[in-house]
Structure 1
């Protein structure tokens, strides 16, 4: 299997590299590939770099290869080819060294249904050879409180809702201080209030110096909490970088506010505006390759009462559509 050199992996390989060093790569892969029996190519030549201290969104539709990538990074499955380093060490070879420094929630938590939420965490903590048994109950209580499950800690896990199970899985990942937190669809099954709470928790963890690697198919979720992101589609990496830069790479939407939406749409099309969408009280479209002042003048000349005219900042959704020609679930 191909190995990353120290130079390719970045400052993360240096013994003195601090977890919060912005030049360090907490996760680095080169040509990482996974092909299953039968020829199915789940991940195809992935080159990924996750900066230390970032909240990194791993974005793509369901089935795009996100979970398979995470399973390779965590040493749960072996890649077919390519190389991966996590916290500066090769995976899966250095799993015993790396994983104690990583908290993870992948494909939902595995719980003992006959045990309470609190007893599940006590059992998991006792399996950690680095955990001090003298402070175990205090750690479990703190983890339950952090995810809002203190009141339900004595309830059997089999009676938990999907959202409560997700919270308990997060609590398990937070039993010990972690340099890296890997979350696969962490808001799955949560109601809107629960989603906001998890997003707030992710921001809090990042401010404390933990690098958070967050997989999601929700564009809105990534845009709200992440500093950096990578976009996957059909097993391949489409783009990666700072979220602000990814959005800036896409053109914004021209927005005209007017009571005369039908006349405005007609005039905009005549001016070369593509993808014109008529909404209640406004018309949007892709800005043409011409002076926008001329477009506004043409609207006025056509008798359109222009109440507002401008270009909205491009969103991550706009960037994804521009890169792939398709969209996916953007609900948050």
Structure 2
């Protein structure tokens, strides 16, 4: 909808939420019985970004995605997708959005190809004359051409994930929303999906990627947000989030016990010994002095330096808890 045809409330909404591909303000979902699944979420997903949505099980990620896609109503607050309010503008917005949420819904008795043909036929904007070409291209993009004739009930979990992603790619999309897209994939399949996500982003598609795999987010995403217990803890460029966590001082030495003692004396906390490698929080003093103290104590230092903080370090620093990687 252009600015000239927008109603005054919609213009105010767009001014409040900015120009992000996704923008929420005080978005809240409370279920019957008082369970607060999402609590006052203020989220901004920049256009053209690959945005990682992080959080352990029960943090509110999938509930948020379901509200963004108009599948459930928020209790309060607002959600805008591609500049339009949801769920009110779902009919106008969703043709420009590809989504894979909580695993694909497939007809097991149909082949992978026939599932996509049926899915495409349900799209009123799809040209039936080019349907088979679109389906073939989508199958090729996710590596399922050879298995296109096999019935979906015989697909592995990873193949079903690929087929669900192919259905989201039948048409050019401005926004792609993926909920745990690499679930069930082997390492090679995960690499292929990451490459595909990068390609889509390079073509101008904004990708919103929910995952519990921190290394996946760090490898492929430009921006990220961290959820915990229904609340947004932090958001921003991935590099900035990781930089917000302090790195760890690492010493490699054949004298790990002595090195650990010296690091503690120099003010390093959480000192961990792993073979000949000793790590600890960076002490609040000149690291040259720490290194000198090790040498004076007779510690044979083979390696000394500060390791860059990872996204996992940032998550633990922000939430004070480990990350549930069980999915």
User: What's the TM-score bracket when you normalise by the shorter of the two chains?
Assistant: over 0.9
Residue 9 of structure 1 is matched in structure 2 by 17
* Higher mean C-alpha deviation, range 66-75 or range 321-330: 321-330
- Give, in whole Å, the separation in 2 of the partners of 1:106 and 1:293: 51
Q: 1:106 aligns with which of 84, 101, 106?
A: 101
- Give, in whole Å, the separation in 1 of the partners of 2:66 and 2:325: 24
Count of aligned pairs: 319
Q: CA deviation at 1:7?
A: 2.1
| SS of structure 1 residue aligned to 2:294 | helix
Q: CA deviation at 1:196?
A: 0.7
Residue 23 of structure 2 is matched in structure 1 by 28
Structure 1 contact 3–90 (Cα < 8 Å) conserved: no
Unpaired runs of at least 5, structure 2: 1-8
Q: CA deviation at 1:330?
A: 5.7
Query: TM-score, normalised to structure 2's length?
Result: 0.95
- Give, in whole Å, the separation in 1 of the partners of 2:48 and 2:54: 18
Residue 116 of structure 1 is matched in structure 2 by 111
Q: What do the CA deviations read for 1:166-208 (whole angstroms, capped 9, x no partner)?
A: 0000000000000000000000011111111101100010000
- Give, in whole Å, the separation in 1 of the partners of 2:11 and 2:245: 35
| SS of structure 2 residue aligned to 1:125 | helix
| Residues 234-273 of structure 1: pairs in structure 2 closer than 5 A | 234-273=229-268
- Give, in whole Å, the separation in 1 of the partners of 2:272 and 2:20: 42
| Residues 68-79 of structure 1: pairs in structure 2 closer than 5 A | 68-79=63-74
Residue 201 of structure 2 is matched in structure 1 by 206
Q: CA deviation at 1:329?
A: 4.2
Does residue 150 of structure 1 match 2:158?
A: no
Q: CA deviation at 1:3?
A: 9.7
Does residue 171 of structure 1 match 2:163?
A: no
Q: 2:87 aligns with which of 76, 92, 95?
A: 92
Does residue 80 of structure 1 match 2:87?
A: no
Q: CA deviation at 1:262?
A: 1.0
Q: What do the CA deviations read for 1:262-316 (whole angstroms, capped 9, x no partner)?
A: 1111111111101111112211110011111111111111110001111111111
| SS of structure 2 residue aligned to 1:79 | coil
Structure 1 contact 272–288 (Cα < 8 Å) conserved: yes
| SS of structure 2 residue aligned to 1:275 | coil
Structure 2 contact 22–81 (Cα < 8 Å) conserved: yes
Misfit runs of 4+, over 6 Å: 1-4
Residue 15 of structure 1 is matched in structure 2 by none
| SS of structure 1 residue aligned to 2:147 | coil
Q: For the aligned residues, what is the CA RMSD?
A: 1.6
Structure 1 contact 105–186 (Cα < 8 Å) conserved: yes
Q: What do the CA deviations read for 1:8-27 (whole angstroms, capped 9, x no partner)?
A: 221xxxxxxxxxxxxx3000
